[in-house]
Copies of this chain bind each other. A is one copy, B any other.
Amino acid sequence: MTENADVIFIGNKPPMSYVLAIITALSSGASKEITLKARGQAITTAVDVAEIARNRFVKDLKVTKIAIGTAEMPPREGETKSRMVSTMEITLKK
């Protein structure tokens, strides 16, 4: 993993894939702080991932920051208006 190991983008994989990525990043010793970034429906997954990691696997993991925001997405093919999508960042620290 590179210097970006401390940011994990949450998409539509099962939550456990991301939990595993967190555990891997933490146990490599390179990062003590990990930020999960998600937008749209993946926001729910990001919360699930943080909660599963914290409650079941890394007991001393703390949520240090949660931020929400809005991002503009380019219009889909055949559409003219750009769409607004909610974003979320959860920072976890060991």
Contacts and interface: CB of A to CB of B under 8 A. Distances in A.
Interface string A21-45: 0000000000000000000110110
Contacts of A48: 86
A65 to B, nearest CB: 9
A51 B68 contact: yes
Contacts of A63: 68
Given A44-B44, A51-B70, 7 more contacts: A41-B44, A43-B43, A47-B86, A50-B68, A51-B69, A63-B68, A66-B68
Instruction: Please tell me the size bucket of the interface on A.
Output: 10 to 19
Contacts of A47: 43, 68, 86, 88
Interface of A: 40-41, 43-44, 47-48, 50-51, 55, 63, 66-70, 84, 86, 88, 90
Contacts of A69: 51
Contacts of A43: 43-44, 47
